[in-house]
Amino acid sequence: MVNKLGLSVVFFATLLLFGCVGATRTDTTAAEEPALVVETRPESAALPPQQPPQSSAVSDTTGRRAAVTGDPQPHDSRQAVENPATASTGAESEVPPASRSPKTIDPVFVRTLKASLQQQGLLAAEGRYRLAIERLDIEQPRFGLDMTVVARVDYILLDANTGATVFKETVVASHTATVRDALAGTVRLRLAHAAATRRNIAGLVEKLLEFNIGAGAVSVDN
């Protein structure tokens, strides 16, 4: 009787032991599955937030590129490139005129001519002969190291009493100013212009002296 009771107790104890083990296994499996689900959800949810920063960075760079392409600095450089052009035209206006027509004889040339005739004793207020300038041409370069100016003048000498032509003469004279004379191009041009003018007038005086014109016999019309 005692042995039967002992066997029954052992049997029930064994059943209870297996029942507890099974319950713990089901609990652990049930607890492990939600943990796996929780770990996968954050990974799938973390991917979308990373994309907006990339798109915003691209928009920032495109905005900067647009700002760079819209920079108006090239227009300013062109104006800078245009400022030097206006300065050169202002300098050219200071250069003596290259040509003179009969109606616009240079008064400076006429004064120089009268001064030269007076030095030679040929000038008179109302002389026997009248000297007129029909044409005055001045050929000069625009730029260069050696500035050569050519003065070409058409003179006519008339008899004051009869109006007859005594002679018509074209006198051509030139002068070259180099860098040794002046470093500035405008100064070289003016030096060459003045020297060519003086040489031209000197050639006229020689021509007048060949005709044995007396002292105080020439008046200038211009």
Confidence of residue 2 (pLDDT cuts 50, 70, 90): very low
- Could you tell me if 55 and 108 lie in one domain? no
Kindly report the pTM of this predicted structure: 0.52
Assigned domain for 78 exists? no
* Residues 49-79: tens digit of each pLDDT: 454 444 433 334 444 443 333 443 443 333 3
CA-nearest of 102, 79, 186, 111 to 141 is 186
- Could you tell me if 63 and 171 lie in one domain? no
Assigned domain for 14 exists? yes
Mean pLDDT value of segment 154-177: 91
How many percent of the chain have pLDDT more than 90? 27
- Could you tell me if 117 and 216 lie in one domain? yes
According to DSSP, the residues that pair with 157 across neighbouring strands are 131, 167
- Could you tell me if 106 and 57 lie in one domain? no
Assigned domain for 63 exists? yes
- Could you tell me if 138 and 205 lie in one domain? yes
Percent helix, strand, coil in the chain (nearest 5)? 60, 20, 20
* Residues 18-29: tens digit of each pLDDT: 554 444 444 444
With a CB cutoff of 8 Å and minimum separation 6, the contacts of 157 are: 129, 130, 131, 165, 166, 167, 168, 169, 208, 211, 218
- Could you tell me if 179 and 111 lie in one domain? yes
- Could you tell me if 19 and 58 lie in one domain? yes
Strand (E) or helix (H) holding 80: helix 73-92
Q: Which domain holds residue 34?
A: 1-71
- Could you tell me if 51 and 105 lie in one domain? no
Q: Tokens representing 147?
A: 């500035």
- Could you tell me if 117 and 195 lie in one domain? yes
Assigned domain for 197 exists? yes
- Could you tell me if 62 and 169 lie in one domain? no
How many percent of the chain have pLDDT more than 70? 53
pLDDT of residue 110: 92
pLDDT of residue 133: 93
- Could you tell me if 107 and 52 lie in one domain? no
**Mean pLDDT in the chain?**
68
209 pLDDT higher than 50: yes
DSSP 197-212: HHHHHHHHHHHHHHTT
With a CB cutoff of 8 Å and minimum separation 6, the contacts of 102 are: 133, 134, 135, 136
Inter-helix orientation angle 185-210/107-119, to 10° = 50
Assigned domain for 50 exists? yes
For residues 112 and 99, give the distance between their C-alpha atoms in angstroms, rounded to a whole number.
17
* Residues 85-140: tens digit of each pLDDT: 323 323 333 344 554 444 567 899 999 999 999 999 999 988 899 999 999 998 88
Which range, of 4-8, 154-158, 196-200, averages the lowest pLDDT?
A: 4-8
Assigned domain for 94 exists? no
pLDDT of residue 199: 95
Assigned domain for 87 exists? no
CATH of the domain at 123: 3.30.160.150
Confidence of residue 177 (pLDDT cuts 50, 70, 90): confident
- Could you tell me if 131 and 197 lie in one domain? yes
Final residue before a domain boundary, out of 55, 71, 87: 71
Assigned domain for 113 exists? yes
Count up the domains in the chain and report the number. 2
69 alpha carbon, distance to own chain's centre = 22
